[in-house]
A and B are shown apart, each in its own frame.
Chain A
Amino acid sequence: MSGRIFLFGDDIDTDQLAPGQYMKGGLEELAKHCLEGVRPEFAAQVRPGDIVVAGKNFGMGSSREQAAEALKHLGVAGVVARSFAGIFHRNAINLGLPVLAAADLSGISDGEEAELDVGAGALRLAAGGRRIVLEPLPDNLQRMLADGGLVPHLKKRFAAGNGRPA
């Protein structure tokens, strides 16, 4: 599935992704306010398959996993950034949202068509056929992502009799 790129800068924090004042309500409501502090139109415009591309330290701040969950809820195919904050990165994989790093993301334009190929670890830009190679995830995280996140991963593990009995 391909989509459009939504381009962001460095240090996008979790309070922008999941604003505190909407944390009481459900995900539906929270997602409507995702990133509104930096880009008010984001939640209304983003469509399934779209890709968030950002600078360094994406997701810094809180451990609230709604920061990743809101993006997933909006149908974002994944986040490609120069680097990620540690807890956000774990949360995203645990929820099955692909998050992949690439040291050089220069020359990518906001709104351009692209496809995130998680299996191949690449971001393919429609214009000019450019292909950006993404840093591979550690094996354990690749498995977790392939299973769809931590909960299905654990279900599979328990069903296989590995770990705690179901």
Chain B
Amino acid sequence: MRATLAQKIIARAAGRQSVRPGEVVTAKVDLAMIHDSGGPRRVEPILKELGVGLFDASKVVLISDHFVPGDTDEGARILELTRRWASERRVAFHDGEGICHVVLPERGHLKPGMFVVGGDSHSPTGGAFGCYMFGIGATEMAGVLATGEIWLKVPGTILIEWRNRLGPGLTAKDIMLALCGRLGMDGGKYQAVEYAGEAIAALSMQERMTLSNMAAELGAQAGLIAPDETTAAFLRAAGGESGDHGPLFTDPGAELLEHHVFDAAALAPQVAAPHSPANAAPVGETAGTPITVAYLGACTGAKYVDLEGAAGILRGRRIAPGVELLVAPASRRDQQRATEDGIMKVFEDAGARILPNACGICAGYGVDRLGEDVSCISSTARNFKGRMGAASSKVWLGSPLTVAASAIAGRIADPRDFLREANR
């Protein structure tokens, strides 16, 4: 039977030859990822109530990122509880090393073909590595940690194809915002989205991660990209590659739920107006809107590749008077690399303030939050009302390049104007 990539991974995890969309199956998880917010403080009381331990401590990874740096008393207490649990339960623990979705693959935990759950809505990020990975809540995670399995309704596949290549100044974030605008926040129908086409194949792993991550914004369960040599090279460098994973691709002629085709070459930088990623439109429609905060952060906007792109715009320039540029590198390792390559120096010279390697303002859990009536352009994944601070604050979403260009201009700006200037 011709099968999609999603069906192949789910069939293996469910111990079946094949599965059909709509069937409810039980799958064994290869890995469960949790973080400080939905993790130990929420799951441990349930495990105690059930009277069981972890199904397999070697298949659990804990990462602290939401309450890092513990800048409130309650946040610090949650981090302490998280650390104690990691040591007692003997699970792999990455403490303050960065955002879970970035650290998990960076540390070699993901391998193509794995069936993975994460205690965070942006867990579809694992799909960039050919994993069927999705987000769940804390109670359901406690169930997974107790049993090692989870039910799911086998999804149909929505194939999203991007033909041709992205133009200069365009990024995966622009692709994603365009998709949010065109398909809507429920366009993914809680099915599997799969990204394909020349533009996707040309993207680096960190760019692909942005696409898979924001499958959550499309309302999909998972956001997959078939593994290729780019995937293998990343995994080898991360120490996570483990040989042959079988035919991890959607068979030609496999039944699809939907098939969308877009032209990457025709795409303009996208900006999503408050308060939804679905309010995305070409940057021309919002260009000129004054902003007071520019935020380079989050799993979809402050990885090495994002910092590199933003620095390409900012190099030799300063942010506009009255604008605050905040940079929260997504992982310690990415920040180190950016430091070695002179990228962090570009941000400092431009007048940026550097925040810890964590979820930061994106999650809105710490001291650094947007105040009343702030206008912010952000490289994060979501701009729901009040998410990053006061309900009166407004957040526009753009690519890291668009955020950098806007920080220089003091208003929403097209990064391509700055690229042209730089090339003159």
**A residues bordering B, Cβ < 8 Å?**
11, 13-16, 19-21, 23-25, 37-38, 56-57, 60-65, 68, 83, 85-87, 89-91, 94-95, 138-140, 149-151, 154-155, 158, 163-166
A-B residue pairs, 8 tightest by C-beta: A65-B137, A86-B190, A20-B364, A91-B137, A24-B74, A63-B121, A57-B186, A15-B384
**B residues bordering A, Cβ < 8 Å?**
24, 37-38, 42, 46, 49-52, 55, 67, 72, 74-75, 78, 119-121, 123, 135-140, 142-143, 146-147, 151, 153, 185-186, 190, 219, 221, 276, 278, 363-365, 369, 382, 384-389, 391
CA distance A65 to B369 in the complex (A): 22
Known: A85-B190, A151-B46. A94 touches B37 (CB 8 A): no
B146 with A164: CB separation less than 8 A: yes
B146 with A154: CB separation less than 8 A: yes
| Nearest CB of A to B222, in Å | 10
A151 with B136: CB separation less than 8 A: no
CA distance A146 to B206 in the complex (A): 43
| Nearest CB of B to A140, in Å | 6
Most central of B37, B49, B386 by chain A CB within 10 Å: B386
Cβ contacts under 8 Å, B185 to chain A? 11, 57, 60
A154 with B364: CB separation less than 8 A: no
| Nearest CB of A to B228, in Å | 28
CA distance A21 to B371 in the complex (A): 12
| Nearest CB of A to B6, in Å | 14
Most central of A24, A86, A149 by chain B CB within 10 Å: A86
Cβ contacts under 8 Å, A87 to chain B? 121, 135-137
Other-chain contact of B139, A13, A62, A65 (Cβ < 8 Å) = A65
CA distance A37 to B387 in the complex (A): 10
CA distance A155 to B47 in the complex (A): 11
> How many inter-chain residue pairs (CB < 8 Å) link A and B?
131
Other-chain contact of A37, B67, B136, B146, B386 (Cβ < 8 Å) = B386
A151 with B50: CB separation less than 8 A: yes
| Nearest CB of A to B123, in Å | 8
Other-chain contact of B365, A23, A63, A138, A149 (Cβ < 8 Å) = A23
Known: A20-B365, A57-B219, A64-B38. A95 touches B139 (CB 8 A): yes
Most central of B67, B78, B138 by chain A CB within 10 Å: B138
B140 with A90: CB separation less than 8 A: yes
Cβ contacts under 8 Å, B55 to chain A? 164
B50 with A154: CB separation less than 8 A: yes
Cβ contacts under 8 Å, B151 to chain A? 140
Cβ contacts under 8 Å, B46 to chain A? 151
CA distance A90 to B139 in the complex (A): 10
15 additional A-B pairs beyond A63-B136, A158-B50, A166-B50, beta carbons within 8 Å, are A11-B186, A13-B384, A13-B385, A19-B364, A20-B363, A20-B364, A21-B386, A24-B365, A60-B185, A61-B384, A63-B121, A65-B38, A83-B186, A140-B151, A155-B50
| Nearest CB of A to B186, in Å | 4
Cβ contacts under 8 Å, B50 to chain A? 151, 154-155, 158, 166
CA distance A165 to B147 in the complex (A): 10
CA distance A154 to B74 in the complex (A): 31
A11 with B140: CB separation less than 8 A: no
Known: A15-B384, A16-B385, A85-B190. A63 touches B135 (CB 8 A): yes
Cβ contacts under 8 Å, B139 to chain A? 65, 91, 94-95, 149-151
Known: A37-B391, A150-B139. A19 touches B365 (CB 8 A): no
